Amino acid sequence: MHKRMLVALFVATLAIGPASAQDNERGGVRTETQERVRGGGLTYDLIWNLVGLLGLLGLLGLHTQHDEDSYHPAPIE
């Protein structure tokens, strides 16, 4: 019984097929991402990557340092 169920699940998996075997031209309309990749736009992508990097570097300024040099800051004065 266990082997029959395992074989049935294996056959069902084969019948569904991998997603990569499907056609990427669904209706002939390209998505916005496909258009960006196809069009190149290296300088435009570079500008946005630099803006994102600048934003991530800006987040480092939010990191606060401890007022004292001990391993754990003491809440009691």
Residue 6 predicted with pLDDT over 70? yes
Residue 26 predicted with pLDDT over 70? no
Residue 54 predicted with pLDDT over 60? yes
> What is the per-residue DSSP string for 8-51?
HHHHHHHHH--GGGS-S-GGGPPPHHHHHHHH--HHHHHHHHHH
Give the integer Cα–Cα distance in Å for 36 and 45.
Answer: 9
Give the integer Cα–Cα distance in Å for 13 and 36.
Answer: 34
Q: Which residues does 38 contact at the CB level (< 8 Å), separation at least 6?
A: 30
**pTM score over 0.85:** no
